[in-house]
Chains A and B, each alone.
Chain A
Amino acid sequence: MYKNCSRREWLLRTAAVLPGAWLAGSRLGRAAGAPALPVAVARCRTYDAGELVPALSRMFDQLGGLGRLVSGRTVGIKINLTGETTYRLGYAPLEDTHYTHPAVIAATVHLLGRAGARRIRVLESAWSTAEPVEEVVLRANWEPRDILGAAPNVEFENTNYLGSARKYARLMVPTGGYLYPGFDLNHSYADCDVFVSLAKMKEHATAGITLSMKNCFGLTPATIYGSGAGVDEPSVLPNGGREMVHSGYRQPSRSAPAEKDAKSPRDGGYRVPRTIVDLVGARPIHLAIVEAVRTMTGGEGPWVPGGTLVSPGVIVAGLNPVNTDAVCMGVMGFDPMADRGTPPFENCDSTLRLAEDAGLGTRDLRRIEVAGTPIVQARFDFAGLRRARRANAVRQSG
């Protein structure tokens, strides 16, 4: 009877006949019941608006249209500007390797505006600074007006500190959280009706991959979760990175919710994926967009050795971040059902598995409807490059 199905399939089938009350509370039950929403995949070879805007527009239509999601609403878009603006992979512009490309941001803003968004707020916790995001992107050699002018009522906010509000917004994790029961964040993450994660498709040194969910690691203000955070109260200005969250060497400012268990593992491979899932639980993502027209392999930024510039020419978007990231992993040549010990999670837990267990969305590609370009046709073999890189490293060390 079970010869022709995998253990996982068997478990899922078996789950259908298990008592509902027990199932609802179990990991298996939550995974089986985790949402599965459509994900759109598109080939896009360049950042030219002439190719990019129609591609994104078509993808949003495949997801049911942006209008019903954003019309008359305030939209917060978390972009990815990881690391200092002065750090490039070779001579390559930041947006070609590890920053969300400004053309994709502008195109998304344009389409959100066209769909009736009342106000569009482009958000990022810029590295170790309270400078306005407009100034930060100038240092990256971008023209902020290209984004600000892409739709009416567009503004930036640097969420790495208190920003324009009088107090931090407390967002709690509905399930109680793996590591943190809640977070104190810049008001922008509470003051939006629709939240978009607009990420770059990359591998990640600590979390294996960085996609729409990992992008939310940067929600945390360094004034509370950074190396220079105040002990009792948030510092006024952000200083340093989030090593505190990675290694757990200290707690956030006492004014914010403390870790649930200060004796839990202090290993980044354990902590970072759980923190990401807690953040995505506290601040749900309504629209996940992951771009890889151009990106880098080998890590999340040029500080990770061995990275190379690549041109996968693909964009993925979905209404559920776990589903979207699962499709991204498929595009990258990884198995989204992989767990710790299997690439790209050789040394960490799978953020996707943890998110699925938390009931945030399924990572099972069989349950996810993919619109547009099939995964196999969009594939860019990050996994193969990773294997080759690691084999080469072993050879060199041997």
Chain B
Amino acid sequence: MELFNNLPSGFAVVLTPTNLLYCLLGSLIGTLVGVLPGLGPLAALSLLLPLTFKLSPVESLVMLSAIFYGSMYGGSTTSILVNIPGEAASVVTCLDGHAMAKQGRAGPALGMAALASFIAGTLANLILTIMSPGLAALALKFGPVEYTSLMVLGFVTTIFMVNGPAPKALIMIAAGIFLATIGTDHVSGALRYTFGSQNLIGGFDLVAIVMGLFGVSEVMLNVEKIARSEIVSKKIGRLLPSLQDWRDSWAPILRGSGLGFILGVLPGGGPVTASFLSYAAERRLSRTPERFGQGAIEGVAGPEAANNAAVSGSMIPLLSLGLPSNGIMALLLGALIIQGVQPGPMLMTQKPDLFWGVIASLYIGNVMLLLLNLPLIGLWIQLLRIPYKVLFPVILLLSVIGTYSVNNNLFDVWVMIGFGVIGYILRKLEYELAPLILAYVLGPLLEQSLRQSLVLSSGSPVIFFKSPISATIMLVSAGLLIYFAYGRIRSARSVNAAPPPTKEAS
């Protein structure tokens, strides 16, 4: 019942000219970021973060969230028309979306991508609206012990979700936590790893790290691989999918919405994982899996629904618990903390305008994006013609402006350059960088709650198994670790048991 009072108040907050403008601006920038290859949502959010310092927390979060889900919408356009994903969550859309475009069905592919995104986004927002108050109420029972356990679960699931070997993910998490410890210890006031530098007393700035790892390193990778483009004129055709397209797609959209929402809520999950898993699920469930990769519309509808639903899902842990589930949410958390707002269970009662305003903005943003994406598709296609040789110096200049303007300190620019080089090397060696950012943002909270918990128990880790909530979370984490280790051992055994490749095959 409370829901019916709160959501309208959220709409009242968002339906002001200023907030609508920021929602529209965020949707436009997000679509642009999604459309343009070589600029992901994380890099774009970090580029624009300094601009939000002058905005109110509601305006700031409304715009940043709109950029996030706008990029999910826009990413499909590039995947379908160019076969280059605009951002990572649209990689799988290339497979069938571009195949459809080559068959002269670019219109229905674009239309279905936008409509599936809209339906999934709206469904996920409904679940978010219903679930958030309950979760926030449950989160009120959380103390330092439960928070520590929850963060451990978050890191375990992150290791579970990322691609590549577990030690690589673990190194990224540990490195992120270590970076967060540099500077002044907030509990004792002691200095750590500052080596006498005044600049390091406050630690590294989040914006400088993110801009380096995701902005600069992205440019460094792109300049060596983007060559030239071959332009072929094809007819896009009508954008609205046919009745048969809807018959083929309604179930994948619903499944994608559910899967995406769950993966958004889970720590370590997010739009990228959601879209890949949705594609795999649809292919497995299909009676004609051989059509996948050849232009099956289910291969567009499912993943596009999943990546949008994951955005709304990932808002739940951020708004209810104050814990980000992925790198982008970590940046949103950083933005809120800079604004002096601490997300968590008290947010709904202390700042209801922010809490419900952001949720209401997700509904409005979804409608705006549908209106922006379908009728303006011609404009977005024109933007695809901007060559990277024009884009990359602009991205680099934006990175410098964004980093410098946070503290008006050139040291941050040097930090950005350093992390750009580190990010470039790590990405070349197939390390995923999102866990590092997640750990960097969660690091101070983890340290505080871990130390508080161990002080309460005089140093005994048994405290994590005394509270029922914490014990359950810890057991789930242990179970996941065992399952993960078992899976790895089994796959290693099957590789060893496989016959050696023949000369011809190799």
Pair from one complex: no
Residue positions of A touching B, CB distance < 8 A: none
